[in-house]
Amino acid sequence: MDTNTNFTLAIEDLTVSFDGFKAVDALNFYLDKNELHVVIGPNGAGKTTVLDLICGKTKSTEGSIKFLNKELTKMAEHEIVRAGVGRKFQTPSIYENLSVLENLEISYPYGRGVYGSLTFKRNKTVLDKIHEIAKQIMLDDALDTEAGLLSHGQKQWLEIGMLLIQDPQLLMLDEPVAGMSVKEREQTAELLNKISEGRSVLVIEHDMEFVERIADKVTVLHQGKILATGDMETVQNDPKVIEVYLGH
């Protein structure tokens, strides 16, 4: 296929084996700009491993991952972040002792712009950006609050904000609504729908009600392979998907 160049992310024939066990097995996967794609599937299907491969945490055995035409399989983790890939892990990694504002500031990509790393100071540009992001993540009234005092859901949003402030072209979230209240899930769905404008978002999630609210496309992974892919309705009605995943 020579269609890769049109996609933000094009994964082809991606395989990783751990002592002969193929956790991801000849995977082909494409992601467009403005697309919010959710990956679902049973425990151990290889979902988190796919994110690990994209962000360079795990090295592939075979295959390619092209992101904006850069080959990620040849790049180090920090280079992949700099290229515009943001990844949120299952447990939020925020600084509990710092305020919301300080957490966002620490994530600001100082030194990447024309001014270089010498201008590490809180100027108006930075503050404006922090306020813009805080509003998006519904924490604009909590900028001075110590992050450790936030609710579980708010902590998850803060971590999303810490990624957004770096303006990634690809944002990856692993089970973002696990442990959230019903209200927080609804607010997170709205947030994700907004932040997929202008970028690509890849989400792993088990909560099907949530998936239905956010997904442009759904891919079902099973034993490292794609079982089905398409819109929510197509996937939900696929007999293979019902058998291995939704029927449980």
Phi, psi (degrees; rounded to nearest 5) at 135: -65, -45
48 is a site residue for Mg ion (CB under 5 A):
yes
Helix and strand element counts for the chain (H, E) = 9, 10
Which does residue 84 touch among ligand ATP, Mg ion, none (CB within 5 to 8 A, set by kind)? Answer: none
Chain centroid offset of residue 208 CA: 17
In this structure, are residues 158 and 101 in contact, taking their beta carbons and an 8 Å threshold?
A: no
In this structure, are residues 86 and 170 in contact, taking their beta carbons and an 8 Å threshold?
A: yes
Nearer to Mg ion, 134 or 227 (CB): 227
45 is a site residue for ligand ATP (CB under 6 A):
yes
48 is a site residue for ligand ATP (CB under 6 A):
yes
Which one of 3, 43, 93, 123 is in contact with ligand ATP (CB under 6 A)?
43
Which does residue 117 touch among ligand ATP, Mg ion, none (CB within 5 to 8 A, set by kind)? Answer: none
Compute the least distance from the CB of residue 43 to Mg ion, in Å.
8
- Binding part of the chain for Mg ion, among 43-51, 130-138, 177-185, 225-233 by CB under 5 A, reads 43-51
Q: Binding string to Mg ion for residues 1 to 40, with x set by CB under 5 A, is what?
A: ----------------------------------------
Q: Which string of b and e fits 11-48 if b means at least 16 CB within 10 Å? A: bbebbbeeeeebbbbebebbbebebbbbbbbeeebbbb
At 92, list the tokens. Answer: 């939020």
- Binding part of the chain for Mg ion, among 42-50, 106-114, 145-153, 223-231 by CB under 5 A, reads 42-50
Nearer to Mg ion, 103 or 156 (CB): 156
Nearer to ligand ATP, 86 or 224 (CB): 224
User: Whole-angstrom Cα distance, residue 231 to residue 189?
Assistant: 17
The number of residues that bind ligand ATP (CB under 6 A) is 10
44 is a site residue for ligand ATP (CB under 6 A):
yes
- Binding part of the chain for ligand ATP, among 7-15, 28-36, 43-51, 185-193 by CB under 6 A, reads 43-51
Nearest CA to 176 out of 145, 225, 214 is that of 214
Amino acid at 193: N
Task: Collect all residues with Cβ–Cβ distance below 8 Å to 154 and sequence separation of at least 6.
Answer: 138, 139, 142
Binding interface with ligand ATP (CB under 6 A):
18, 23, 41, 43-49
Binding interface with Mg ion (CB under 5 A):
47-48
